[in-house]
A and B are shown apart, each in its own frame.
Chain A
């Protein structure tokens, strides 16, 4: 009897609590930037594709819904020829983002992806690639890698010494 009254009392008290339910879709809930929703591919600060087609996201994906193929610019800069995510399989676990060594692949706080036709859940690179850096600013993988590129010679990367002269006998 006492517990019954207690419950009634609690329910009554709830009438004065702040409302958490919002009138979606007219009203939208706040989603923190680290919320794991739709996946995008981002660009580095110079506006180049960040993805280096290393296949780490695809291997990290527990449902194997990422497929891509590597190709190269003439100077050896690697990027994905195609990059496909089958969102009808994706479980938004964020493993791909965690595995990505270049900050290219990011999950963003957008979940409004429902489709009437499942086929439309298959996103290609043109649907994934955005014109910005996403959540992580400033990072440019190729500046740190040892690879020689069109506008970056050996020894010109971050924290690199000029190339060794194998003919030198100086210590």
Chain B
């Protein structure tokens, strides 16, 4: 702790930070542009000027940039000093000389940091009378709009894009007062995190192009804290709605999870909520065989018979449905008749993963832990495509080891350019073993390309080197052995190594190998971080709840004599062979699907009930880390769209079952889970319950300046209706209620007096760049056991041997396209690749295929005609098919296949 004096007042501060950071922390407003807590200070905008004095006798002082001065003990500064005030005012006047007259049509308006700073710095009247500079804009793809006239040259964009996200197609061009921020030519921004430019840029140069399609100002949106539904990372988001459609997703800071950023799949995938394919009304199969809309009463009434005897019912849950809905289904049909809805492979792997995280001497790290790791070993994952934000976290980890040098030289870590000069090109140890090239290869120390069993062999070998108790690998070739030595050496030296693996290759031995490596690295006092990537938002949730896979359901159906099937939010055809699902569904007289999207399974249903997405419902997801996180309904839908568990409650009540009679709201369900499922003992800590109040008030979803309250619906009826109640959460659907700083799990808006932009975030943090006030939301459900029972896995596989007539076919994941939901957003669809089959050069040579040739790939789950792509990096004997792309959803991977022309 150090003491500093600001305008005569004394403050206790952390001397490792700079003055700007500490002043903002203490609630002192200093205007700034270029400083960003995640990216440090560079002193380029000159906006954060304050006056510094040598000692108490110094009355002259000198102007300094507060972001570039350490908050050292005894520092004396003045923010209110007249000269400093005038300096800041004139800086912004200069920045504004060429600024266009755009605010009314600028999408940043109302949440513009430049607007805020202009007001804060006191620049009111334009004196500049000369011509304004203009710039030609660029086309940057379907996600980001470019309006270069509005730039104030703060360099934040390139610092994020190049230095933080390691993108290489956005830069600054030109010289002196002609500098230009953009690409070398028009084109789609290639980095998967480009959407963050929208929040990083303090002006309207980079804005959300998808918001532009239905533009609404920040103050006009109804918002709620949400959780991203597009992968297993579980980034915290803010969903925003107006006029019945979700308009955008913004980042919701969580120091332990996503921090300041989101990936583009998460930011832009929201449009599935507004999609044409949504199910918005109950539907029933009519006499003529068509599925047609019907009233809720009618459908529930018809379901009476189907639901009469529980013994006749089988329930299939889903990793994209909430813990609550899955639990309700399981409770209703009983453990032996409930299936998680995971595929066979996923189910097996997830069970394994949970077992390892609970019992092995390892620890599941948060993204923050990963950002702070100083050595990385990835087994079998293309992280950028399977858990994008984890990839961004991993990118930060390469700095950790070299940062020791920075610390040794006593350079403050926030002093970004000094740090960069010291680091030069130094990178921490980073190893990737994968089937084919990954998007993290550019930062890797070494990469290893091999079939999945061979990747596991490398892992086993590393573990054996680290600890002789771990099984050895037989017949390992020399190169691999040597690589294993290098990796083991680097991991051993590291203080905070992280091992990353996951389910994406569908290979059990990789999961085992990763556990062995992590366990072998662990010492008495230090458990190694081991992170397993899982595919969907609630994969871990259903895993913890437990239940058989879809395959188990299919295989077991004969003995169960069931005639009713209830499916929650799941398209079975994506997870099991088509023919098997077809014959499985034939067993049932009633197939009740509760879902929000139409898909192949809903087409086979006898009754369909409209479930809600994150936009219309509340619930809990458990992310890869084992962190339970609550998402809250964003808006009140026009149609009767409900949580799946509510539909089940209504339907079963109607059918005469009283199981769920007491379930009036979400709290009741959460309470039941809390009581009955050991793994979820802490689920009620994920967020405050519906009785939570501040000063007797509920929390408001709409901002205090939400407009149009008395006219939004006045064309339907001029008499205003009572706003709907929300029994499930402490939120109201209107601006009524508490709108100040809410507890961390309930933050739905970053706004503070004088801070209309997202930069208001500093007011919500306990410590800038640290946890939110009151602690980061979410609760970890999996903590490593005090005493562990672990013996090394010994199932070291034999080396992969290519077959003559068959190819081992692995799924290749794509950030845009592989996710079932985000692909429904047209702009994500535009960025998704077309289906293809990736083939090794050698194999292509033997088969005499050329790039682009159409071939027939025959898997057990079906046959596909795909154009060939030839690659150097995929091993011979292995081919890759993009996972989940439209047209390829039903390909069940991995597996053996044959190819013919």
Contacts and interface: CB of A to CB of B under 8 A. Distances in A.
B132 interface: yes
B785 interface: no
B131 A161 contact: yes
B180 A166 contact: yes
Given A70-B215, A118-B718, A166-B178, A84 B711 contact: yes
A164 B219 CA distance: 35
Contacts of B620: none
B212 A167 contact: no
Interface in A66-121: 66-70, 72, 78, 84-86, 88-89, 101-102, 118-119, 121
Contacts of B175: 169
Given A52-B104, A52-B105, A146-B102, A163 B714 contact: no
B302 to A, nearest CB: 39
Contact of B134 (A72, A89, A154): A154
A146 B151 CA distance: 12
B718 A119 contact: yes
Interface in A31-63: 52-56, 58-59, 61, 63
B143 to A, nearest CB: 17
A154 B137 CA distance: 9
A157 B100 CA distance: 10
B447 interface: no
Contact of A164 (B174, B711, B717, B718): B174
Given A55-B707, A64-B708, A161-B131, A145 B101 contact: yes
A148 B136 CA distance: 9
A138 interface: no
B710 interface: yes
B901 interface: no
Interface string B704-734: 0111111110110111000000000000000
A160 B212 CA distance: 25
A88 B712 contact: no
Given A146-B134, A159-B131, A122 B715 contact: yes
B150 interface: yes
B667 to A, nearest CB: 32
Interface string B165-184: 00000000111101110000
B693 interface: no
A85 B714 CA distance: 9
Contacts of B712: 67
B856 interface: no
A86 B718 contact: yes
B216 interface: yes
Interface size class of A (residues with CB under 8 A): 35 or more
Contact of A78 (B105, B705, B708): B105
A32 to B, nearest CB: 28
Interface in A113-147: 118-119, 121-122, 124, 141, 144-147
B575 to A, nearest CB: 40
Given A160-B134, A163-B136, A70 B711 contact: no
A171 interface: yes
A86 B714 CA distance: 7
Contacts of A61: 707
Nearest to B132: A160
B711 A161 contact: no
A147 B105 contact: yes
A52 B137 CA distance: 21
A110 to B, nearest CB: 20
B236 to A, nearest CB: 27
Contacts of B242: 69
Interface string A3-44: 000000000000000000000000000000000000000000
Nearest to A72: B212
A146 B100 contact: yes
Given A148-B137, A159-B131, A163-B135, A121 B708 contact: no
B243 interface: yes
A42 to B, nearest CB: 15
Contacts of B715: 84, 122, 124
B718 A54 contact: no
Contact of B176 (A101, A157, A171): A171
Contacts of B214: 69-70
A101 B104 contact: yes
Contacts of A67: 707-708, 711-712, 714
B694 to A, nearest CB: 24
A92 B708 CA distance: 15
B151 to A, nearest CB: 11
A100 to B, nearest CB: 9
A66 B707 CA distance: 7
Contacts of A59: 110, 217, 219-220, 705, 707
Contacts of B174: 164, 166-168
B109 interface: yes
A133 to B, nearest CB: 18
Contacts of B147: 146-147
Contacts of B216: 55, 69-70
Interface in B86-117: 100-105, 109-110
A145 B180 contact: no
B133 interface: yes
B149 interface: yes
Interface in B188-233: 212, 214-217, 219-220
Nearest to B174: A166
9 contacts: A54-B109, A67-B708, A147-B100, A147-B105, A154-B137, A154-B149, A160-B131, A162-B134, A163-B136
Interface of B: 100-105, 109-110, 130-137, 147, 149-150, 173-176, 178-180, 212, 214-217, 219-220, 242-243, 705-712, 714-715, 717-719
Given A54-B103, A54-B105, A67-B714, 7 more contacts: A54-B109, A65-B711, A86-B718, A146-B149, A159-B132, A161-B134, A166-B135
Task: Across the A-B interface, give the 8 residue pairs with the lowest CB-CB distance, nearest first.
Answer: A146-B100, A67-B708, A166-B174, A166-B180, A54-B104, A64-B709, A58-B707, A86-B711
